[in-house]
Amino acid sequence: MKRRFDIQLTDNYIISASGLLLIGELLQSLTLHKRLHSLSMPGLTSSAAISHGDVVYSYLGLLSQGKNDFDWIEESRGDVF
């Protein structure tokens, strides 16, 4: 499903995570998650609880918010979004 975005300038307060929607749409269009999930690494099983794609998506989400350390992921633990 393609979405259309209307980007406008505003003086309203916008939360820092608002750009994640656009980042997510871009990543989905690249099918990056699927390609990362299909990777295999020596010594690792493919039935890992957290896929390579999930780890990369999480880190890209942090980077897009200006958080360059994976420790920041703890802020989002348990967050459905």
Range of the domain at 56: 20-29+51-69
Q: Is residue 13 part of a domain?
A: no
Q: Is residue 4 part of a domain?
A: no
pLDDT means over runs of 10, the chain (81 residues): 77 76 84 79 69 85 86 82 63
HEC string for the chain: CCCCCCCCCCCCCCCHHHHHHHHHHHHHHCCHHHHHHCCCCCCCCCCCCCCHHHHHHHHHHHHHCCCCCHHHHHHHCCCCC
pTM of this prediction? Answer: 0.66
Q: What is the total count of domains within the chain?
A: 1
Q: Is residue 25 part of a domain?
A: yes
